[in-house]
Structure 1
Amino acid sequence: MFNLLSNAVKFTPENGRVTIDAELAEQSVQIGVSDTGIGIKSEEIDKLFKPFLQLDSSYSRRYEGTGLGLVLTKHLVELHGGKIWVESEYEKGSTFTFTLPIKPRKNYD
Structure 2
Amino acid sequence: MTQILLNLAGNAVKFTETGAVDILADAVDGNFEIAVRDTGPGIASKDQALIFEEFQQVDNSSTRQKGGTGLGLAISKRIAEMHGGTLDVESVIGSGSTFRLKVPIRMNEDVRAA
Q: TM-score by structure 1 length? A: 0.91
Give the residue type in structure 2 aligned to 1:13: E
Give the residue type in structure 2 aligned to 1:74: K
Number of residue pairs matched by the alignment: 107
Task: Describe the superposition over 1:40-83 as per-residue Cα deviations: whole angstroms up to 9, x where unpaired.
Answer: 01111121111111211111110121110100000111111111
Q: CA RMSD for the aligned pairs?
A: 1.3
Partner of 1:80: 83
Mark the runs of 5 or more structure 2 residues left unpaired by the alignment: none
Runs of 4+ in structure 1 displaced over 4 angstroms? none
How far 1:25 moved relative to its partner? 2.8
Partner Cα separation in structure 2 for residue 93 and residue 25 of structure 1: 24
Provide the identity percentage: 43
Secondary structure of 2:66's counterpart equals coil
Secondary structure of 1:99's counterpart equals strand
2:106 is equivalent to residue 103 of structure 1? yes
2:73 is equivalent to residue 67 of structure 1? no
Mark the runs of 5 or more structure 1 residues left unpaired by the alignment: none
Partner of 1:11: 15
Which structure has the highest helix share of the two?
2
Q: TM-score by structure 2 length? A: 0.88
Partner Cα separation in structure 2 for residue 41 and residue 27 of structure 1: 31
Partner Cα separation in structure 2 for residue 45 and residue 3 of structure 1: 16
